[in-house]
A and B are shown apart, each in its own frame.
Chain A
Amino acid sequence: MSDAASSAARDAFAARLEHPAARALIRRHRLRWWEVLPWAAAIVFYLAFPDYLGFGTELLITILFALSLDLALGYAGIVTLGQAAFFGTGAYTVGLLAFHGIWTEPISGLLVAALAAAVVGLLSGLVLLRTSGLTLLMLTICTMALLEQAANMAHDYTGGFDGLPSLPIAPVFRVFEFNPLYPNTQYLYSLGVVLVCFLFLRTLVYSPFGQSLTGIRENLLRMHAVGSPVRRRLVICYTISAAIAGVAGGLWAQTNAYVNLSVLGLDRAATVLIVLILGGYGRLYGAFIGAVVYLALEHFLARIYPTAWQLGLGVFLVLIALFARNGILGLGERLWRGYRARRAKP
């Protein structure tokens, strides 16, 4: 090829990357200004509401748990109602190790929790992900129920229904102690863990791997037809999702200093699903919005009407399901687009 021809080819190459669609894809993963807001809000919360840091910690853990579900459900389209299996595995891993005095260091404890949950995710995923739809949904619930029963029956180790109280957790970096009355450490520690996990997930969903997960969600048959190893991708995704849920569970056990069967229950699995649907799935930030709205609703509705606060939540969910299929974020996006379109017209 002559020099002129090769330089023309180079120019054509560059021109194709200058196309608006190509530029949008190239820049898709870049941080946008508003992405700082949730973290800034978390810091403001810490400074402004020192009496609510226990609530704040619960909120952060719920966000992390919902993020783990978003990867499996929102991005890869794995329909699961058993995500608490991994939350519980993480929580019990931390709980058992601490209670029996084997391992109390928090950060490495979370890594072990992630690993344990990943193993459960991998093994169950290899079986579960051969199915889809309602069968898959049922099997995820079954996995969780099996683990819950196992934790119940292994009474000698897990404390059965009563759980494991007063877990001794070592100070973070050997300096910052977990104080149950002033959960400042718990809050900041959780915030740090959520941030690290979030950055990992954000990298993942914008990667080629993440793109292929959305392909699987959007059209399984086509994904097979482009030669994608679909099952392997799904198992890897499910395992990572399980590991993150395990971190959330481990964090829950550490910051509360106890574990009980509630970490493995259908209640918890259903709650995190509601949180994600409320906020909007397949967009990461839905987990943040959903967790804030859900916990705030729970908090305030329970105050107004302690015996039947879930009625209010139910009505709210019906409204979301009817008028905002893509959750609060989806609704916001639609309104924003409508606003921009109307402004652009005249």
Chain B
Amino acid sequence: MSELRLETRALSRHFGALVAVNGIDFKLAAGARHALIGPNGAGKTTFINLLTGLLPATHGQVLLGGKDITAKAQAARVKLGIARTFQINRLFRGLSVLENVYISVAERMGAASSMFYPAGKRSDVIEEAMYLLGVLKLADVAQRRVSELPYGRQRLVELAIAMGLRPEVLLLDEPAAGVPSAESHIILDAIERLPEQISVLIIEHDMDVVFRFAKRVTVMVSGAVFAEGTLKEIEANPQVRAVYLGQADGGQRHG
């Protein structure tokens, strides 16, 4: 197995009496294409929130490149290379597409606290933002307000903002959620073209996406790891088929 990028040890999160995430040991390899699947309420999004530091863990550890980052706040983890997208769009809706990505790139480059020169003077930030928009095929709408875009392309902006942080680890929370199936291919194409060295963890309900994209799969049920393995192993696992894949055929999506 290749080098380890992100790891959790006995990671747990309680909400009062509810144990949303229960002692998860998880390993994300460098350059991984790893899918996290599981029925509704399995704790997948909570798990991602623990990885990014949006929620503090109740127990356990998160390690990035072997270093314990459990105590680090969200902003510090971003600086260390963990970026995410949200299941529901979290965009700067009133701003243009370019400004959305500018904010993220400026933050990474340390330009965002500068007060005494215009934002337009940072041509390095603008250039990189435009480059990302080009890669994600958003350049034609760069000047448009995000809220005016169709939902599928808004999802791409979500991805562009995360890519602006130049992450080592990218956590995608149902990147195609809510996108009409006619448009979903643009998201999947974009995900397939992500740079190889980025370790990607993707939460996904749509098994077609998982089969197309993932090399390894972790199945979560009721806050715990139910099964883990390569795509083939998971596909062949009768228990997984029983609890999850069978349901997914019914076209359920949501988490």
CB within 8 Å of B: which residues of A?
A: 13, 16-17, 19-22, 24-29, 203-204, 206-212, 214-215, 218-219, 221-230, 233
Contacts and interface: CB of A to CB of B under 8 A. Distances in A.
Contacts of A215: 92, 95, 103
B117 A207 contact: yes
Given A215-B92, A225-B78, A227-B78, A17 B108 contact: no
A280 to B, nearest CB: 13
A16 B52 contact: no
A8 to B, nearest CB: 14
A159 B180 CA distance: 68
Given A28-B118, A207-B117, A228 B98 contact: no
B126 A17 contact: yes
A211 B112 contact: yes
Given A17-B130, A212-B113, 8 more contacts: A16-B127, A25-B98, A28-B120, A29-B119, A203-B117, A212-B107, A223-B103, A227-B78
A223 B119 CA distance: 17
Given A13-B127, A226-B104, A204 B95 contact: no
Contacts of B130: 16-17, 19, 21-22
9 contacts: A19-B139, A21-B96, A25-B119, A211-B99, A211-B119, A212-B103, A222-B91, A225-B83, A227-B76
B111 interface: yes
A25 B127 contact: no
Contact of A228 (B112, B115, B122): B112
Contact of B134 (A16, A20, A24, A29): A16
A228 B74 CA distance: 9
Contacts of A20: 142-143
Given A208-B113, A227-B74, A227-B75, A22 B142 contact: yes
B169 to A, nearest CB: 13
A17 B118 contact: no
Interface of B: 52, 54, 74-79, 83-84, 86, 90-99, 102-104, 106-108, 111-123, 125-127, 130-131, 134, 139, 142-143, 161, 164-165
A87 B213 CA distance: 58
A180 B98 CA distance: 52
A214 B146 CA distance: 14
Max count, chain B CB within 10 A of own CB: residue among A17, A19, A26, A226: A226
A214 B95 contact: yes
A225 B86 contact: yes
Contacts of A227: 74-79, 107-108, 165
Contacts of B122: 208
Contacts, number: 148
Shortest 6 CB-CB contacts between residues of A and residues of B: A227-B78, A21-B142, A29-B118, A218-B92, A21-B143, A26-B120
Nearest to A211: B119
A203 B98 contact: no
Contacts of B116: 203-204, 207
B115 A24 contact: no
Nearest to B74: A224
A16 B165 CA distance: 19
A223 B92 CA distance: 9
Nearest to A224: B74
B119 A225 contact: no
A65 B92 CA distance: 27
B84 A225 contact: yes
Nearest to B139: A19
A211 B103 CA distance: 7
B112 A203 contact: no
Contacts of B77: 227
Contacts of A212: 103, 106-107, 112-113
Nearest to B117: A207
A22 B127 CA distance: 8
A27 B120 contact: yes
Nearest to B118: A29
Contacts of B165: 226-227
A84 B118 CA distance: 30
A77 to B, nearest CB: 10
B3 to A, nearest CB: 24
A237 to B, nearest CB: 10
A124 B48 CA distance: 34
A47 to B, nearest CB: 33
Contact of B115 (A207, A223, A230): A207
B90 A225 contact: yes
A22 B124 CA distance: 11
A172 B84 CA distance: 56
Given A13-B127, A21-B130, A226 B115 contact: no
B118 A22 contact: no
